[in-house]
Structure 1
Amino acid sequence: MYDVMVGPVDEPDPEAMRRVLGGLAQAHDEHPDVSLTHEGGWCISALRGGLLVWENPDDDAVAPGEMRDADVEEILRLFELLAAGDIASIEALPWQR
């Protein structure tokens, strides 16, 4: 996981994820997001205002998806699913591609 200043957070628990998300209040143009990446390459980036980006930068065959207006609890839920490796549940959501 990376915080808004691109500082790494190794194997974050839900409390650490919540702290990192709280840092979005300090997001700006140079550092606009926080992200969590699974060892399989899948990544969720969260930007201030509730924009989520779901992608696998290692797999060009899969187009990135976006979801808007996600609240903190939904973002945490998705981060926890990704941390658990539940890619199928995340992929099943209505991502705009």
Structure 2
Amino acid sequence: MSYFMYDVMGGTADEPDAEGMGRLLDGLAQADDEHPDVSLTHESGWCLSAFRGGLLVWENPDEDAVAPGEMRDVTRDETLRLLGLPAAGDLAAAEASPWRR
């Protein structure tokens, strides 16, 4: 497995396709303070978390030397595009996105 996603309640989905990613993003409608996001984790440890309202966070919790990056007000379509980068193994393109650190 090269990646998996957590849904808003913490359930996992192994390597969902774009349609499956879209369904997981739709679950953000039920997000609350305890369960605020859905995320994709690549086998390398890089993680992209999406929050209701368009906040994205890109980070590798195992790498203290690299500060997390964020984007705000990201559209659903752009979120799906960005989720597709680490899903396809293109970590360089994901990292090259305009993250604010």
Q: Smaller-chain TM-score range?
A: over 0.9
Is 1:4 paired with 2:8?
yes
Tell me the SS of whatever aligns to 1:9: strand
Q: 2:45 aligns with which of 41, 44, 57?
A: 41
Query: Who is 1:96 aligned against?
Result: 100
Give 1:90 deviation, angstroms: 1.2
What TM-score results when the alignment is normalised by the length of structure 2? 0.94
Give 1:46 deviation, angstroms: 0.2
Comparing both structures, which one devotes a greater share of its residues to strand? 2
Deviations 1:22-76 (A, max 9, x none): 0000000000000000000000000000000000011111100010011111110
What TM-score results when the alignment is normalised by the length of structure 1? 0.98
Is 1:21 paired with 2:38?
no
Query: How many residue pairs were aligned?
Result: 97
Q: Which runs of 5+ in 1 are unaligned?
A: none
Tell me the SS of whatever aligns to 1:82: helix
Give 1:94 deviation, angstroms: 1.4
AA aligned to 1:55 is E
Give the RMSD, CA atoms, in angstroms.
0.6
Percent of residue pairs identical: 73
